[in-house]
Structures are given as structure tokens and as C-alpha cells.
Amino acid sequence: MTAENGGAAPTGLRTWNASAFVREYRLQISILGILVILYTVFLVGNPLVFMHFQIYQSFMTTMPFFGIMALAATYVITLGEIDLSFPSIVGISAWVFGTVFVTTGSFGLAIVGCLSVGLVTGLINGLIITRIGVPSIVATIGTMFLWRGLVNVMSQGKGIALVALRDSPLYDVFVGRLFGVIPVQFVWFVALAVGFAFVYRRHRYGSHLLYVGDNQESARMMGINVERVKIIAFMQMGFFAALAGIFTTSEVTYFWPTQGDGMLLTTLAAVFIGGTSVFGGAGTIFGTFIGVVIIGSLEAGIIAIGLTGFWVRFLNGLLITVAVSVYAFMLKRGR
Amino acid sequence: MSDPTLLIMKGITKSFGKMQVLRGVDLEVNYGEIVALVGDNGAGKSTLIKIITGVHRPNDGEIWYKGEKITLHSVRQSRQLGIETVYQERALADLQEMWRNVFAGREITNALGFMDVAAQRRETERLLREHMGFTSTAITADSPVKVLSGGEKQGVAIGRALYFHADLIILDEPTMGLAIRETDRVLNFVRGFRDQGKAAIFIDHNIFHVYDVADRFVILDRGRVAAQFAKSEITQDELIATMVQLHHTGTLQ
């Protein structure tokens, strides 16, 4: 990364340098370390389960549901903002998905309706935050209740059976099994992660996210349209929450009114374990990806090595607390 | 091209609600000239420069730039015209790499908006070595801005303006909080700018720096130009005395 040939710097000092590499990527290395340790414990604790493909297939089925939202949330958190409403956006957009499908019988129309709801709800968040000036944590508590409440009113607390989704060729595009074994949603998740990473590091928009998150005033002075950057961030969050809604609904071919609930903390935990700074201006998509893998395999792993389900939350909490403390310490020393 | 005047502002007024900050300001800046804006807090200095940089729009008045009448409506537009502002060190994002700071808001991208990071890094590196006088190899285009000293940060902010071929550079308190040696460096940057035939508007609380570097002094008082002097017309002590008198009596008589 640093081996560009610009400038008249003396030669010899620009060769690849292991300690500089470690310093630059210390967050990524730490999180990878946590993953390796975790999987070592799992493999030693229960080789029978963890040496077989079946558990990984199960992970690949469920991780993308919150993983896709963790990717999108990384952008929002990089801005120094937060979105608490995306689980409710999953709910409302999935309800639209189910309702449109039942009414029209078209998977395609259901997708369009669902994703539009995601974009519009995200836009509403963005407008409340930038135009009205409500801090994002407060604004999205409001819309979190609003959309969940609306789901309850519209569905009257009832689920929608969607078994007919299986008859559509689009079903396999979203939640089929590649070569009969790999859940397609995981392929989506990996592809999206690559896309998110490229935009984050290489696209003008990603650069603006980092700049605004780091120093909003300075971004404004440099002619960056801060409000637009924020609105787009909340819109993509809504869009990908709706996409996650399509995946979860299609996988189980059922809409239920509490859909999305319980995804809030796992999603945000994955982002924070991944090393994205809550203060904004710093983060990596790679970290979030590994964070999703860690959070997504923790529960099953803990059960598999013989601990009771009671330990899941405790160990989850321990991991998150230790990880974010280590990052904070590293950042402090890096100054 | 023979017209020596780069910027003319005529009868600029600006109020925020009931508060009238500028009451008809006339200002001219010539090529190859450093104009110092001096005046007490609240005299309207920063509002005036924010109008030049496109942050605020005046209520009334005309702006002529390079012989054409213009209306400034955004920071981006001002920058495209070649008007750059150096705001202390606060216009840099500390955690971001140098190259990201240099190209903030003006990234080199392809049609899809993806950046040419290699080019941005290379240009930043060149800027560091050739224009900002960085010699230490510990600082590269990939270094985050937070590792720099205050003077070095100011150098980056000024270097950024130079890179984009600014014709008019506006310096808002560029020496605030800097060590003496670093202040000298910043003042040298400004002189270098004038030597290239370009112009600068300089705001600084430290009258010694102002007198040292500027060619002309425009004294603002309560939203009006109270007086202006070429450097040859006034000594440093007289300038200070004038300002003190203005501050106490509100007039020059």
C-alpha cells in the first residue's frame, strides 16, 4: 500500500516493512486473532461438530440476515451517527413484501415494493436528522417505534404464510442452495461485503463518509455536501434492511410481525467488534465481516462445546466489552 | 489581462436576522498583493471572507472577479474560480491520511466516482516534498494528519490551496497557536504566494505578523471599512495606535 513511487524520498526506506504493516493493520490483525482463538476453542471443544460441513452450512444460512445490515451500519457509524430503527424497517418492509406477494402473486413486484419502503423509511430518517436537526440516536428511537407500531397495526399481529414463494425462480436467486450445498444468501453477503469495501476505501462517497465522520466542519469547508452524505447513508441503511427482510422472509417463507426484532444488538455488536469507531471517521468493512462471522457463530459454538444456553449472552458480552476496550486502548496509544 | 485588479467588492451588506453585520463594504484586491483585514472582534471580518468563499450570500452589493461580475453561491463554486481558504488547522480531518485531506471534496475519480488513489497519493507526495518543504521520510502521503505539528498542518492546508492553482488565497488566523519558528514558515508560504503574482487576504490578531507580511491594511469597524493604508503610508506603531483609537472612540478623528 505504501510502495508508491512518488516523490524524491531516499530509497531503501520504502521497502516492505513488517512492523509498519502490523502497525497499520493492527485492528484487522487483532480481530482476526480473536476469530482464530474462538475457532480453536470450538475445534478443540467439539471436533465432531466443527470438523463437519453441516454447521458451516447453518452459519452461512443465518449470518447474512444481520450481516448485510452490519455492512450498511458500518457506513452510518463511520459518520459518527447511529441507526436504531433498522430492525423495524425490516419489519415494515417485510410486511409490504408479504402483502404485495399475496395480493399480486409476483415475487418481483414484492421485491420492488419492499426495497422502496426501505429507501423511503431511510430517507425519512435522513431528513429528520439533517433537515430538522434531531440527533440520530433520538430520531431513530422514534422511527423504531413508529415502524414497528405500524407493522402491528397493519398486520393486526398476524403473520402471513408465503409458501408459494418457492414456486418462483427468484426464490433460488435469493435463498437457493448453490451446487445444492452453499446457501445463496451467503454468496450475496460476500459479494456485497466486497462491494461495500470498495466503495468505502476507493469511492468518492466512502472518502466523504470518513471525512465527514472525522470532522464535519472541515468537510463543510472543503465543499463536501454533508447533509447529502448523511441522507444517502441512512437511505442505504434502510435499503439493505429491506433486502435483509427479503432474505429472512424468503428463507422461512413466512412473515411475522416481530420480524427483525432482536437483530439490533447483534448487528451493532458485529460492527463494533469489527473495530469501527463509535466516534466516527475510522473503520473497516473487513472488520465488520469478521465481526459478523464471530457473532454469527458464537451461539452455536458455545452450545456445541457443552456450555448451556445461559452462557451465550454472558460470553457475547464479555467478547464485545474486551474487544472495544482493546481498540480504544490501541487508538489512544496510536495518538 | 492588464487589469491589475483581481477582486472588487462593492457595497456588500449582510445581516443575520436583525443583526446587521456588514453595512456596505468596499474592498479591492490586486494581483501580487497581500491585503490584511484588521479590526476588532465583531467588525465583520469573518463574515466578509465567508461571502468571498461562498459560505454566505450577501444581501446586497456586487462582486467582480477577474473582470467579471459574479454571484457566489457555494464553496465548491468559489474553489472552481480559484478562491481558496486556509482556516487554521481546523479544516483538516485528523484521523485521515494526508492524501485524503489534500483531495477532500475534489477527489480524482473516474466516471463512476471511484478514486485514483495511486495518483492522489503520488501528487500528495510531490506536494509534500516540493511545496511544503517536508524532508522527513517519517511523514508520507499515507500518514494521518494527527502526527503533524501545528505548523506542518498549516503547511498542508496551504499546500492544498497551491495545488489547486488558487489565484486568491484567504488565510483566517493562520498563525494562531503556532510556535515562532512555525509562524515564520507560514509567513514564508504567504510571501511565496505573492511572489508568484497571486493574491492573498490575510486575517490575524497578531498585528506584528500582519504588518510584517501584508502590503495593504484594510481596517474594518462595525461592518464598514473605517480606513485603509498602504504599508508605505503607515508605520507599525501608527497602525496599532489607529486601531486602539478606533476601539476606544469609534472614529479616526
Query: What's the CATH code of the domain at B78?
Result: 3.40.50.300
Sequence letter at residue A335: R
Tell whether A25 lies on the interface with B, counting CB pairs under 8 A: no
Asked, for residue B187, whether it belongs to a domain, the answer is no
Position B89 confidence tier, pLDDT thresholds 50, 70, 90: low
**Domains contained in chain B, number:** 1
Tell whether B240 lies on the interface with A, counting CB pairs under 8 A: no
The reply to whether residue A223 touches residue B74, judged by beta carbons under 8 angstroms, is: yes
CA distance B44 to B52: 13
Asked, for residue B233, whether it belongs to a domain, the answer is yes
ipTM associated with this complex: 0.80
Closest chain A C-alpha to B245 CA, distance in angstroms? 35
pLDDT of residue A16: 63
Give mean pLDDT, residues A145-166: 93
Is residue B196 exposed (0-12), middle (13-18) or buried (19+ Cβ within 10 Å)?
A: exposed
The reply to whether residue B114 touches residue A198, judged by beta carbons under 8 angstroms, is: yes
| Residue of A287, A289, A315, A317 lying closest to A301 (CA atoms) | A315
Asked, for residue B234, whether it belongs to a domain, the answer is yes
Of residues B89 and A4, the one with the higher pLDDT is B89
- CA of residue B11 relative to chain centroid, distance: 21
Position A330 confidence tier, pLDDT thresholds 50, 70, 90: confident
CA distance B51 to B67: 18
Query: Which residue of chain A is at minimal alpha-carbon distance from B86?
Result: A221
Give the one of A8, A207, A215 whose C-beta lies nearest to B129's C-beta: A8
Of residues A280 and A120, the one with the higher pLDDT is A120
pLDDT of residue B86: 83
Query: Which residue of chain B is at minimal alpha-carbon distance from A281?
Result: B95
pLDDT of residue B80: 86
pLDDT of residue A1: 38
Asked, for residue B108, whether it belongs to a domain, the answer is no
The reply to whether residue B92 touches residue A218, judged by beta carbons under 8 angstroms, is: yes
The reply to whether residue A207 touches residue B91, judged by beta carbons under 8 angstroms, is: no
φ, ψ at A92 (rounded to 5°): -70, -40
pLDDT score of B167 more than 50? yes
For the ranges A181-185, B1-5, B78-82, which has the lowest average pLDDT? B1-5
Asked, for residue B209, whether it belongs to a domain, the answer is yes
Give the one of B90, B95, B122 whose C-beta lies nearest to A281's C-beta: B95
Asked, for residue B239, whether it belongs to a domain, the answer is yes
- The per-residue pLDDT for range A290-327, each reduced to its tens digit, is 999 999 998 888 888 888 888 888 888 888 888 888 88
pTM across the whole model: 0.85
Tell whether A163 lies on the interface with B, counting CB pairs under 8 A: no
Closest chain B C-alpha to A118 CA, distance in angstroms? 24
Tell whether A221 lies on the interface with B, counting CB pairs under 8 A: yes
Position B74 confidence tier, pLDDT thresholds 50, 70, 90: confident
- The per-residue pLDDT for range A234-248, each reduced to its tens digit, is 999 999 999 999 999
> Which residues, including other chains, have CB under 8 Å from residue B92's CB and lie 6 or more apart?
A215, A218, B101, B145, B153, B156, B157
For the ranges A8-12, A166-170, A297-301, which has the lowest average pLDDT? A8-12
Position A85 confidence tier, pLDDT thresholds 50, 70, 90: very high
Tell whether A3 lies on the interface with B, counting CB pairs under 8 A: no
pLDDT of residue B253: 61
The reply to whether residue B96 touches residue A210, judged by beta carbons under 8 angstroms, is: yes
CB contacts < 8 A, A to B, total 102
Q: What percent of chain B has pLDDT over 70?
A: 96
Asked, for residue B30, whether it belongs to a domain, the answer is yes
Query: Which residue of chain A is at minimal alpha-carbon distance from B148?
Result: A335
Residue B208 domain boundaries? 5-87+168-174+199-249
pLDDT of residue B232: 86
Asked if B185 contacts B132 with a C-beta cutoff of 8 angstroms, the reply is no
Asked if A118 contacts A91 with a C-beta cutoff of 8 angstroms, the reply is no
Position A251 confidence tier, pLDDT thresholds 50, 70, 90: very high
What is the per-residue burial (b if ≥16 Cβ within 10 Å, else e) of A289-327? Answer: bbbbbbbbbbbbbbebbeeeeeebeeebeebbeebbebb
pLDDT of residue B87: 76
Give mean pLDDT, residues A124-129: 97
pLDDT score of B91 more than 60? yes
Query: Which residue of chain A is at minimal alpha-carbon distance from B94?
Result: A214
Average pLDDT, chain A: 89
Sorted by where each starts, the structural domains of chain A and their CATH numbers stand as: 44-334 (1.10.3470)
pLDDT score of B177 more than 90? no
pLDDT score of A285 more than 80? yes
Asked, for residue B46, whether it belongs to a domain, the answer is yes
